[in-house]
Amino acid sequence: MNNSIFIFPGQGSQKIGMGKDFYDHSPIAKEMIEKASQRVEIDFTTLLFEENDRLDQTEFAQPAILLVSLIAHRLFVEQCKVIPKVVLGHSLGEFSALSAASAMDYLDAVELVHQRGLLMKKACEGINAGMMALLGLDDATVENLTCKERELGKKVWAANYNGDGQIVIAGNRDDLVSLESLFKEAGAKKSVLLPMSVASHCPLLSSAQPKLEAYLDQWLKESFAMPIISNVTASEYQSKVEAKMLLSQQLISPVKYKQSILYVESSTDSFIEFGGSVLKGLNKRITQKPTYSITDMKSLEEVLALL
């Protein structure tokens, strides 16, 4: 496992109670949560540990997930000197990966993704945005169907390539629902409308790009400790100039998660997921290489023991 690649989950991995074990047993985690709460004026102890409906709202989910991921990563690197060749994340997780690669201070990253969530929310106001998961269709079939439907005036795009036979599409919610029978006829085993009020990774977010670029310019450092795999290209980058362009493009481009894992799998013997276990599930569809998830102190100790 000394040749592991670090991976970071995205939106949809959030759940009440995440990070609680870190907070209860680690002074570092407690300090990180307290400092993040002060920085963006969000009480993360309430958001993360008490029942509420805000954790599913994009402007709160994004900083919460990133914060827990970076706590897990910090606790790991404090005790282990494994340096990955590259790091990557799924959508929001790419920002966690940037911070893990010393491209951005973690508090700047918390504020950046909070602002990113607000920009995405604003871009989708009044357009009835939504996302839908499709199971059982190959990439080409989904691409062809959505392309034909766009020519007919529907607002639908492939948004996340999560694994063979698992794609998420984004766009206008009514348009997505209207195409469910079409996808079933094409062989989809299941279509599930996701509890999302934004349409991530499609052109409906283009109005958010200029402001996100400005925030990236403000908070990204010039040099990174290691390369990051881009969701947009499924290949690596390692400069502020590239990061600004690619992370702005990421808002309106599909997440090539499956392609990213396939790109790096020959250069690693395992993956370590920080702060969640969603990617561990996705990776089972993509690669034979094992994925270890660090979500609490027990799983942290188990992964450290394997090294």
Q: Give catalytic residue positions.
A: 91, 201
Phi, psi of 268 (to 5 degrees): -140, 160
Rounded to whole angstroms, the Cα distance separating 74 from 80 reads 10
- Token pair 């702060």 is at which residue? 275
Here the tokens at position 160 are 């996340």
List the one residue out of 104, 126, 90, 112 whose CA is nearest residue 7. Answer: 90
Rounded to whole angstroms, the Cα distance separating 282 from 182 reads 25
Rounded to whole angstroms, the Cα distance separating 261 from 263 reads 5
Planar angle of CA 243, 246, 252, nearest 5 degrees: 145
Q: Which amino acid is at 56?
A: D
Q: Which helix (H) or strand (E) holds 270?
A: strand 270-274
End-to-end C-alpha distance for the chain, whole angstroms = 6
Taking a C-beta distance cutoff of 8 angstroms, is the pair 225, 101 a contact? yes
Q: Which helix (H) or strand (E) holds 167?
A: strand 166-172
Give the count of beta carbons closer than 10 Å to the beta carbon of residue 273.
29
Rounded to whole angstroms, the Cα distance separating 286 from 222 reads 33
Rounded to whole angstroms, the Cα distance separating 135 from 116 reads 28
Cβ contacts of 232 within 8 Å, gap of 6 or more: 246, 249, 250, 253, 256
Taking a C-beta distance cutoff of 8 angstroms, is the pair 123, 87 a contact? no
